[in-house]
Amino acid sequence: MAYDEYQQDRINQILSDKKLEYHSKKMMGGLCYMLDDKMLCGLVSDQLMARIGPDRYEEVLGEDGVHEMTFTGRKMKGYVFIDLEAVDTDELLERWLQYCIDFNPLAKSSKKRKKKA
């Protein structure tokens, strides 16, 4: 699993300061953060993955360091990748995390898979 542990510490600090009950899990080749059993954001290699929702998606794509998220060749509208250089201050990182937190109540939970017997 390749992700930046320094960025992990920064995200943990911001989410803890906001007194959110979140957890992280290793998945998708990186580290994903979950809030209310829904994906909030993640660290994949040298990028922040942010689930910001479709309404904010178009608005932020033109910003420096922000890229469309493609997964298995498909665009994932509502998710973006952000270069870590674009969140190098706590204020910038907190802004993106707040976008994710704001969208979280509107996000759909993924369906739980039944365990095989």
* CATH classification of the domain holding 99: 3.90.1150.30
Range of the structural domain that residue 82 is part of: 5-105
pTM of the shown model: 0.89
Query: Is the residue at 111 inside a domain?
Result: no
Q: How many domains does the chain have?
A: 1
Tell me the C-alpha to C-alpha distance, in Å, between residue 18 and each of 12, 14, 22, 73: 10, 6, 10, 35
Quote the CA–CA distance of 42 and 26 in Å, as a whole number: 9
Per-residue confidence (pLDDT) for residue 117, from 0 to 100: 53
Residue 112 lies in a domain: no
Examine residue 16 and state whether it is found in any structural domain, yes or no: yes
The per-residue pLDDT string of the chain (117 residues; one tens digit each, 9 = 90 and over) reads 578 899 999 999 999 999 999 999 998 789 999 999 999 999 998 899 999 999 999 999 999 999 999 877 888 889 999 999 999 999 999 999 999 999 999 998 876 666 665
d(CA 21, CA 64): 31
